Amino acid sequence: MQITSMHFKATARTKLANTNLQTALKRLQGNFVRGRAERVAELGNYEEIRSAAAAIRDRALADLGAYLEEFERNAVASGAVVHWAQTREDVNRIVCEIARGHGVRKAVKSKSMVTEECALNEALEAAGVEVVETDLGEYILQLAGEPPSHIVAPVVHKTRDEVSDLFEARHRTPRKTDIAALTREAREMLRRHFVTAGMGISGANFLIAETGSTLIVTNEGNGRLVTTLPRVHVAITGIEKVVPTLEDVSTLMRLLPAHGTGQTISNYISVTTGVKGRGDHDGPEHFHVILLDGGRAEMLGSELQPMLRCIRCGACMNHCPVYQSVGGHAYGWVYPGPMGSVLTPSYVGLENALDLPNAATFCNQCGVVCPVKIPLPDLMRKLRERQFERGLKPWPERLALALWSRVALRPAIYAMMTALGARMLSIVGGRAKLIHRLPLAGGWTDGRDFPAPQGRTFRELYGRGERRQEIGEKRQTRL
């Protein structure tokens, strides 16, 4: 997937003007946000479970090497082959070699964000392997030639009419608008690919160290068909996805469906351990697991390590006012929303995603709803600090901050300057008390009016007792 994160601001403007997108994004509030709230309310000890889930992820990350080695040892014992990939290019090379070694001409896929990181589809097609996405959302996007815009609901940016038009054009069938009919049409188109594919490719929501198993969570039966029907199954995921035990997975699974789709439990939870055994009716004859670093090891031991707890539920983006306004494509890479504002700069370089750590209101809704307690605003703030330290901020902004810091260290001068600024802005606000344009700070007022101050600073009001009197009056009113 091409990285366009450096164009966030320009892309966001076009997305704000896209009426179809704005209509589609409203579904997040109606489905995922309300559904999560209802499921969380059903968990009487929600905060205890949340703390336990965060502790599980922290324990795995604290001894990641040992748990990965345990996973590899147990996976190999059950007949799997484990591959280690340092880069995304390594993943593509390994998968192409596996396909070539087994004479694979067609591969079916179940949704995997890591393969989106790697642009695996393009690499396989260049190697002569037909690739078919089988998750309904991913299948729609493959037909449209678009990347996903959400990690759980990849096609959330499209309306039903857009999907109807796409199916009519690509399937050459009569146009349908009923959701059940559209789903059946996709199922009929995909069925033949399941039985003719030589390779199935999946991700892994979790790697289970004690059993050497991979686990995927889906709401469609395609995941099981991808992992059991083809002769060769390749599971691709990041090294951070390992958890110590099946019991740990059960704790995490109490939170993942609730936060991802507002469900108590997903329709399918599939655990794959090794190859097809004697007497088994289905399962792969060859099972390969590819573990990608791709920038993850560099985050270990750093101030950004808490981000590696992420279980990819998507709750942070569902609740983010920025994502709700511009959608996922504006973020310019695989991971949108608050999680993407941390992961994308970490994986592809801060210089390639300068706007993302700033694409936040810092309302902390993302931090509050995260099931594994990732302090997302704090992590974005740390990336902002890195931008400043590395001189990646625009020079006018760096100059302004440098001047502000010099003034702020001198209280008397700071008080004089802020008092002068408050009076000037009050005059600019006029009778309406609204600032329509801020000199040298147009970003604040390009899309909205800025409320003008009263003409005096908080320190002035507080020093004269007016603010204290106002607070006292409000307290009396409440009483």
pLDDT at residue 467 greater than cutoff 60: no
Q: Which residues is 215 bridged to in the sheet? A: 206, 271
Place of tokens 């006029």: 430
Query: What radius of gyration do the chain's Cα atoms show?
Result: 26
Q: Could you tell me the strand order of the sheet in which 213-218 lies? A: 242-243, 206-208, 213-218, 268-272
Characterize 184-201 residue by residue with b for buried, 16 or more Cβ atoms within 10 angstroms of its Cβ, and e for exposed: ebbeebbeebbeebbbbb
**Beta strand 232-238 with 199-202: parallel, antiparallel or unpaired?**
parallel
Residues 6+ apart with CB under 8 A from 457: 415, 418, 419, 422
Class of residue 309 by CB neighbours under 10 A (exposed 0-12, middle 13-18, buried 19+): buried
Q: Which two tokens stand for residue 257?
A: 């469906």
Nearest to 348 by CA among 166, 88, 126: 88
CB 20 within 8 A of CB 159: yes
Digit-coded pLDDT (tens) for 54-79: 999 999 999 999 999 999 999 999 99
Residues 6+ apart with CB under 8 A from 260: 32, 152, 217, 266, 312, 313, 314, 315
Digit-coded pLDDT (tens) for 211-245: 999 999 999 989 999 999 999 999 999 999 999 99
Digit-coded pLDDT (tens) for 108-143: 999 899 999 999 999 999 999 999 999 999 999 999
Instruction: Tell me what the mean pLDDT of segment 48-53 comes to.
Output: 97
Digit-coded pLDDT (tens) for 301-329: 999 999 999 999 999 999 999 999 999 99
Digit-coded pLDDT (tens) for 181-190: 999 999 999 9
Question: In this predicted structure, what is the pLDDT of residue 446?
Answer: 76
Question: In this predicted structure, what is the pLDDT of residue 472?
Answer: 61
Instruction: Tell me what the mean pLDDT of segment 81-90 comes to.
Output: 98
Q: Is 133 left (phi over 0), alpha (psi -120 to 50) or beta?
A: beta
**Beta strand 286-292 with 232-238: parallel, antiparallel or unpaired?**
parallel
CB 358 within 8 A of CB 381: no
**Beta strand 242-243 with 81-85: parallel, antiparallel or unpaired?**
unpaired
Question: In this predicted structure, what is the pLDDT of residue 18?
Answer: 92
CATH code, residues 45-298 = 3.40.50.10420
**Phi, psi (rounded to 5 degrees) for 263:** -105, 155
- How many degrees, rounded to 5, is the angle at CA 340 between CA 146 and CA 308? 125
Number of other CB atoms surrounding residue 121 within 10 Å: 22
Confidence grade of residue 27 (pLDDT, cut at 50, 70, 90): confident
**Phi, psi (rounded to 5 degrees) for 286:** -135, 130
Q: Is 373 left (phi over 0), alpha (psi -120 to 50) or beta?
A: left
Question: In this predicted structure, what is the pLDDT of residue 359?
Answer: 93
Digit-coded pLDDT (tens) for 149-176: 999 999 999 989 999 999 999 999 999 9
HSE value, Cβ hemisphere, 13 Å, CA-based, for 97: 9
Does this model's pTM top 0.85? My answer is: yes
SS3 helix, strand, coil % of the chain, rounded to 5?
Answer: 55, 10, 35
* C-alpha pair distances (Å), 194 with each of 50, 173, 267: 38, 21, 20
Q: Where are the domains of the chain?
A: 45-298, 396-478
* C-alpha pair distances (Å), 420 with each of 5, 39, 400, 466: 39, 52, 17, 19
Tell me, what DSSP letter sits at residue 216?
Answer: E
Instruction: Tell me what the mean pLDDT of segment 4-26 comes to.
Output: 91
Question: In this predicted structure, what is the pLDDT of residue 44?
Answer: 86
Tell me, what DSSP letter sits at residue 5?
Answer: G
